[in-house]
Amino acid sequence: MHIIQMQMLNSERVQALEAWLMETDTKLAQVNGQRKYGGPPAVWHLPPPGSQCEVFISQIPRDTYEDVLIPLFGSVGPLWEFRLMMNFSGQNRGFAYAKYSSPAVVNDAVRLLNGHRLEAGVRLSVRRSTEKSHLCIGELPASTQLDHLLQVLRGMVDGVQRISLKTGPGIVGASAIVVFSSHYDASMAKKVLVEAFRKKFELNISIKWQTTMKSTTDEPPPPHKFSKSLFPTPLKPPRHVLTPLRPPPRLARPPSRDAREFCKAVGEPAVPQTPPPPSSSSCASSLEGHLTSSGSLHCPMALLCELCEAKGVGVPQCNLTLSQAGSKGFMFFFYKLSVPGITPDFEGQVMILPGPSAYATVAEAHQAAALQVLQKICNN
């Protein structure tokens, strides 16, 4: 198995950051895969920024932090906010956003700092941020109701402020224009909503930016590792998670016909579909003998727990280690799953898309690990 090695942090750079934070009494907040300064800072005497007051910064070395970047971009004008995108390893993701008091200061920042030589062979890219915060969600059921859709979206992603629905000629089903509180929230939602609707409601929606302006930055380039938020999403999960695999509440997948009218306007669960049996006949026989009546076949975690219970062995425990994410937002976890009374332990790697929250992402990784273990059992 190919093992993905995590890049080591530059301890000197980390220590320099910590020393600068103590010396300047600068406060940073880790929020949703980003580290944020200000919004506003402790002392701010100017009016709050309006539109077109933010720059998008890319080509940042992975071991360069706020102790270098905030003084540099603060030299152009007072910073209302500075957001450095971070990954779980503690490195930055190579891009950031700086918000100023006015569009005039943004022009100065672009003019003075675009192409700025940060270190040998490294020059920053600084452009005006489009700050797009509107998404268009298409191919929703024609029966979709505004208040129900608002409830669903707020349960899946952060920052949803308001929505409007459109139907009529040329529109398949219904379309929704969703307004988010920030470009970051909209970007994370754009990454996760298609998969979230497919998993929860068996609806294949489309999603795109809703704007009449030509984009100058569009989305940030794909990071070396994951977001979603898709992932999408929320407080970052710890690198090591050790928890027993207890069966979660069983969520039924709704059948088609516009996902049973959007699961009866999102108020009622739909009748679950019968999943296909496992490919191995001996495995299928064992699973059907214990679990057909319980309806657990669609949930690997529940299935594994019930199999262990039927065999009279202990409750499975899974140690997850986040490695990093690859292209297209996928996250890689290494797992070591142990069952008291069974040796040796099961080990492997799973690749998942991040969920709408840290808890959901870890839960999804547990499910993927459990499924992989079940497949190994069936193939033996």
**Which residue, among 308, 279, 270, has the nearest Cα to 291 in the 3D structure?**
308
On whether residue 107 sits in a domain, the answer given is yes
Would you state the pLDDT for residue 323?
Answer: 67
On whether residue 18 sits in a domain, the answer given is yes
On whether residue 100 sits in a domain, the answer given is yes
pLDDT, tens digit, 9 for 90 and up, residues 232-255: 333 343 344 434 444 444 444 444
Would you state the pLDDT for residue 248?
Answer: 43
Number of domains making up the chain? 1
On whether residue 6 sits in a domain, the answer given is no
Q: Are 37 and 24 in contact (CB under 8 A)?
A: no
The two tokens of residue 252 are 């039924």
Which CATH number covers residue 26?
3.30.70.330
Would you state the pLDDT for residue 183?
Answer: 76
Given a cut of 70, the residues of the chain with pLDDT beneath it are 1-8, 32, 211-298, 323-329, 355-359, 379-380
Burial tier of 198 (Cβ tally within 10 Å: 0-12, 13-18, 19+): middle
On whether residue 90 sits in a domain, the answer given is yes
Would you state the pLDDT for residue 291?
Answer: 42
On whether residue 175 sits in a domain, the answer given is no
On whether residue 75 sits in a domain, the answer given is yes
On whether residue 365 sits in a domain, the answer given is no
CA 305 from chain centre, in angstroms, equals 28
Q: Dump the DSSP string for 309-343.
A: HHHT----EEEEEEEEE-GGG-EEEEEEEEETTEE
pLDDT, tens digit, 9 for 90 and up, residues 1-46: 333 334 567 889 999 999 999 999 999 998 767 899 998 998 899 9
**What domain range is 42 assigned to?**
11-128
Enclosing H/E stretch for 179: strand 174-180
